[in-house]
């Protein structure tokens, strides 16, 4: 029995210590915390009073001159009237003004001076730089106050003084001592109340098995954290999963709304990943996905998000992205994951397609932005290896769009597409030297459908390939028919960034040979954005065409982002000035200067310069004076059917 009582006493003592010590520790922590909070609140209050004194009682009487030469008599009197009563009444113990070097130029206790020369104090320099410094101290602690012991506790605040006429210019520092007695009394009262709360809490906690609860809680928290991580992250790659990805998108949009930045949301899908899994096995497939995840994180910025959405699909969030350069970033992403890696003793590389949408221009809500990035990916996957931005016509769930896609696919092979031709005029001779072939859709029910209504659909669905093939083939067939009468006539055809695939040069040269046409009579017009989407591939393919004699024209020059440094290295022989500059230059000196600069630049690089959108004689005369090589526009003719095109040549040439 005595042994049991002894063991019970030991357990009671252990339990007493186990419950009492944490509570005592908690009380000490809470007491220290409250003390710090009260002191910090006092400091903030002191800072607020010091700022008020600086802005209301000091700065209005100062100009933008530094205070190294001291204050004028008028300034001393004005400042003394507002500050000396504060010292006399005890609401402020000390109030001095110092120059930025730390020398005293005014003391409310002795407005007329003289003022002692003091060593430079670090608080003065810090306040001049950071705007405010405060600390708890005692009156007399500073050397200038006599280094007196046991002085009254005060809040010592230093606040930067700005010039009245230039708020950005710091001309001095205000030093203020504010009494701390009433605040100290409040602190002691709060601590006394806290001690009572701690004593009451000790009685309540007495019945709690603190150690057991702590141990169980620790295990529960550890398990909860692990479960939460697995719920929000991909177990294979460690990347955020779909749910966390959606939260990251929402957080990025909220932050961008405050900062005024754009956000890019993208979905990346690996091409032919199934082949890797089937040929090398699932283990190597998993290693491949982990490698892709590492490369994505290494390529993007630390603040960007990379998530695995499932299978071989990854989500990207790029806060602060700029739409003009985002495709360059995605091109680097594709280049990074395309680097060869060895898996299972086999060297493999990855290709991917990226669809993306921009906030707020493409959508304002997170879910809508995510859906539109998915829609853009669907369009990108058709072309493989493409980078596609969401376009309203790429919405896969628009019934009208789905119907139009089906009808366009049928129209390409059903004879519903026709070409109209707009002449290009040689400026020195005034003769027609070429035609631009422009596609039109003669819908059996809706009638003539303009290109702007179906070209974007073709570009976003993969139909742009067969559509461009039809246009090029039909244009070359027409050129061959006209060759008997006009053997030197050239034909210009627009091609899209989506047409810049590996088989383009071979296919074009094959069609030229089929119609027995010289390659120099074909001009492929490519927009600047075609180079921006994939500059390496576009340059290589167009260089191959240019080397074979096909002319390449940089269309809509001035709208895109081609740098002047790279322009001389692009495989182009012609610059086509954007019609917006041409049509506006009749009434805008700035646009006229831009057109003149482009013409001069093109000639310096040995390029032919074409101006489109010429609609008035005044514009034509200006272009002639500027030395433009070729003109095109409604002044000469609108695009016309093939049956009327030859008549245009004869009519225009006959006016010479």
Question: 143: burial class by Cβ within 10 Å (0-12, 13-18, 19+)?
Answer: exposed
3-class DSSP string for 128-155: HHHCEEEEEEECCCCHHHCCCCCCCEEE
Element spanning 38, H or E: helix 2-53
The pLDDT assigned to 580 comes to 84
| Euclidean distance between CA atoms 391 and 414, whole angstroms | 27
Question: 212: burial class by Cβ within 10 Å (0-12, 13-18, 19+)?
Answer: exposed
**Among 472, 488, 490, 467, which Cα is nearest to 407's?**
467
The pLDDT assigned to 397 comes to 47
How far is it between the farthest Cα atoms of the chain?
132
Task: Name the β-bridge partners of 522.
Answer: 491
Backbone dihedral angles phi then psi of residue 352, each to the nearest 5 degrees:
-145, 160
Q: What pTM was computed for the model?
A: 0.46
**Among 545, 540, 543, 609, which Cα is nearest to 574's?**
609
Measured CA distances, 342 to 281, 285, 287 (Å): 14, 12, 10
**Among 400, 409, 357, which Cα is nearest to 378's?**
357
Element spanning 266, H or E: strand 263-271
Backbone dihedral angles phi then psi of residue 385, each to the nearest 5 degrees:
70, 15
DSSP string, 227-244: HHHHHHB-TTT--B-HHH
The number of beta carbons lying within 10 Å of the beta carbon of residue 227 is 10
Backbone dihedral angles phi then psi of residue 52, each to the nearest 5 degrees:
-65, -45
**Among 455, 311, 454, 324, which Cα is nearest to 389's?**
324
Is residue 380 within 8 A of residue 353, CB to CB? The reply is yes
Which residues are CB-contacts of 251 (< 8 A; sequence separation ≥ 6)?
A: none
Is residue 155 within 8 A of residue 136, CB to CB? The reply is yes
Mean pLDDT in order along the chain per 10 residues (656 residues)? 52 58 70 73 83 87 80 87 87 88 88 82 87 85 66 88 83 89 69 68 62 62 61 79 88 87 91 71 82 90 89 90 82 86 75 89 89 84 70 59 74 89 93 94 87 78 82 95 92 83 83 94 82 68 91 78 60 88 88 92 92 92 94 93 88 65
Residue 484: strand, helix, or coil:
coil
Task: Determine how β-strand 640-641 pairs with β-strand 417-426.
Answer: antiparallel
- Looking at 165-209, list the stretches that DSSP marks H as alpha helix, in order from N- to C-terminal side: 181-205
Which residues are CB-contacts of 107 (< 8 A; sequence separation ≥ 6)?
A: 94, 95, 96, 97, 113, 115
Degrees (nearest 5) of the Cα angle 242, 248, 253?
A: 130
**Among 442, 451, 439, which Cα is nearest to 416's?**
442
Task: Name the β-bridge partners of 589.
Answer: none
Please compute, for residue 82, the number of CA atoms within 13 A of its CA located in the half-sphere on the CB side. 17
Which residues are CB-contacts of 633 (< 8 A; sequence separation ≥ 6)?
A: 579, 582, 611, 612, 613, 614, 615, 619
The number of beta carbons lying within 10 Å of the beta carbon of residue 580 is 15
Please compute, for residue 215, the number of CA atoms within 13 A of its CA located in the half-sphere on the CB side. 5
- Ramachandran area for residue 601 (φ above 0: left; ψ -120 to 50: alpha; else beta): alpha
Measured CA distances, 538 to 269, 389, 571 (Å): 22, 18, 9
| Euclidean distance between CA atoms 533 and 330, whole angstroms | 9
Degrees (nearest 5) of the Cα angle 68, 44, 42?
A: 115
Measured CA distances, 143 to 50, 111, 120, 314, 475 (Å): 21, 19, 11, 65, 93
| Euclidean distance between CA atoms 133 and 124, whole angstroms | 8
Enumerate long-range contacts of 574-577, CB under 8 Å, 24 or more apart. Answer: 574/523, 574/607, 574/608, 574/609, 574/610, 575/601, 575/602, 575/607, 575/608, 575/609, 575/610, 576/525, 576/609, 576/610, 576/611, 576/612, 577/609, 577/610, 577/611, 577/612
| Euclidean distance between CA atoms 555 and 569, whole angstroms | 16
Is residue 171 within 8 A of residue 161, CB to CB? The reply is yes
**Among 432, 438, 442, which Cα is nearest to 475's?**
438
Is residue 67 within 8 A of residue 100, CB to CB? The reply is yes
**Among 465, 463, 490, 488, which Cα is nearest to 476's?**
490
Domains and CATH numbers, the chain: 17-186 (3.30.450.20), 242-390 (3.30.70.270), 399-646 (3.20.20.450)
The pLDDT assigned to 8 comes to 46
| Euclidean distance between CA atoms 308 and 301, whole angstroms | 17
User: How is the beta sheet containing 351-359 ordered, strand by strand?
Assistant: 305-310, 313-319, 263-271, 351-359, 387-389
């Amino acid at each position: 029995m005595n042994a049991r009582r002894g063991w019970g006493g030991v357990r009671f003592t252990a339990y007493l210590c186990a419950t009492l010590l944490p509570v005592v520790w908690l009380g000490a922590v809470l007491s220290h915390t409250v003390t710090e909070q009260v002191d910090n609140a006092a400091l903030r209050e002191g800072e607020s009073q010091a700022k008020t004194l600086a802005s209301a009682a000091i700065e209005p009487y100062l100009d933008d001159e530094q205070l190294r030469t001291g204050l004028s008599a008028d300034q001393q009197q004005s400042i003394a009237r507002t500050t000396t009563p504060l010292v006399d009444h005890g609401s402020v113990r000390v109030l001095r003004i110092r120059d930025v070097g730390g020398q005293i130029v005014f003391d409310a206790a002795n407005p007329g001076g003289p003022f002692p020369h003091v060593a430079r104090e670090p608080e003065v320099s810090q306040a001049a730089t950071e705007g405010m410094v405060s600390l708890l101290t005692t009156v007399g602690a500073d050397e200038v106050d006599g280094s007196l012991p046991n002085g009254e506790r005060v809040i010592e605040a230093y606040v930067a003084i700005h010039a009245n006429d230039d708020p950005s210019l710091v001309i001095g520092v205000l030093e203020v001592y504010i009494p701390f007695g009433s605040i100290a009394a409040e602190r002691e009262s709060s601590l006394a109340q806290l001690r009572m709360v701690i004593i009451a809490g000790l009685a309540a906690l007495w019945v709690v098995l603190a150690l057991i609860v702590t141990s169980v809680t620790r295990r529960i928290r550890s398990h909860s954290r692990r479960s939460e991580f697995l719920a929000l992250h991909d177990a294979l790659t460690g990347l955020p999963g779909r749910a966390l990805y959606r939260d990251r998108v929402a957080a990025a949009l909220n932050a961008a709304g405050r900062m005024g930045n754009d956000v890019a949301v993208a979905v990346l899908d690996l091409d032919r990943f199934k082949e890797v899994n089937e040929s090398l096995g699932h283990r190597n497939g998993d290693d491949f996905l982990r490698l892709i995840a590492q490369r994505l994180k290494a390529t993007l910025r630390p603040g960007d998000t990379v998530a695995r959405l499932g299978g071989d699909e990854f989500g990207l969030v790029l806060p602060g992205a700029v739409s003009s350069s985002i495709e360059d970033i995605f091109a680097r992403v594709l280049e990074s994951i395309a680097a060869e890696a060895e898996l299972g003793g086999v060297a493999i590389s990855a290709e991917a397609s990226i669809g993306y949408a921009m906030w707020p221009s493409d959508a304002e809500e997170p879910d809508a932005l995510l859906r539109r990035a998915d829609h853009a990916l669907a369009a990108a996957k058709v072309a493989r290896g493409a980078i596609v931005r969401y376009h309203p016509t790429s919405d896969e769930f628009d019934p009208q769009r789905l119907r139009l896609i089906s009808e366009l696919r049928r129209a390409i092979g059903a004879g519903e597409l026709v070409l109209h031709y707009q002449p290009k005029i040689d400026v020195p001779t005034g003769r027609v030297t070429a035609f631009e072939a422009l596609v039109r859709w003669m819908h059996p029910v809706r009638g003539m459908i303009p290109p702007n209504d179906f070209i974007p659909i073709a570009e976003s669905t993969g139909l742009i390939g067969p559509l461009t093939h039809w246009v090029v083939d039909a244009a070359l067939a027409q050129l061959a028919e006209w060759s008997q009468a006009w053997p030197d006539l050239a034909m210009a055809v627009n091609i899209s960034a989506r047409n810049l695939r590996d088989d383009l040069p071979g296919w074009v040269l094959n069609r030229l040979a089929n119609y027995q046409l010289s390659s120099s009579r074909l001009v492929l017009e490519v927009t600047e954005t075609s180079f921006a989407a994939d500059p390496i591939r576009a340059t290589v393919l167009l260089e191959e065409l240019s080397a074979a004699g096909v002319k390449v024209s940089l269309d809509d020059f001035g709208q895109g982002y081609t740098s002047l440094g790279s322009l001389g290295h692009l495989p182009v022989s012609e610059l086509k000035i954007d019609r917006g500059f041409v049509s506006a230059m009749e009434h805008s000196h700035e646009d006229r200067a831009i057109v003149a600069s482009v013409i001069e630049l093109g000639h310096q690089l040995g390029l032919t310069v074409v101006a489109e959108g010429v609609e008035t004689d005044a514009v034509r005369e200006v272009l002639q004076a500027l030395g433009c090589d070729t003109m095109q526009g409604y002044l000469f003719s609108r695009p016309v059917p093939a049956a009327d095109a030859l008549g245009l040549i004869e009519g225009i040439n006959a006016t010479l």
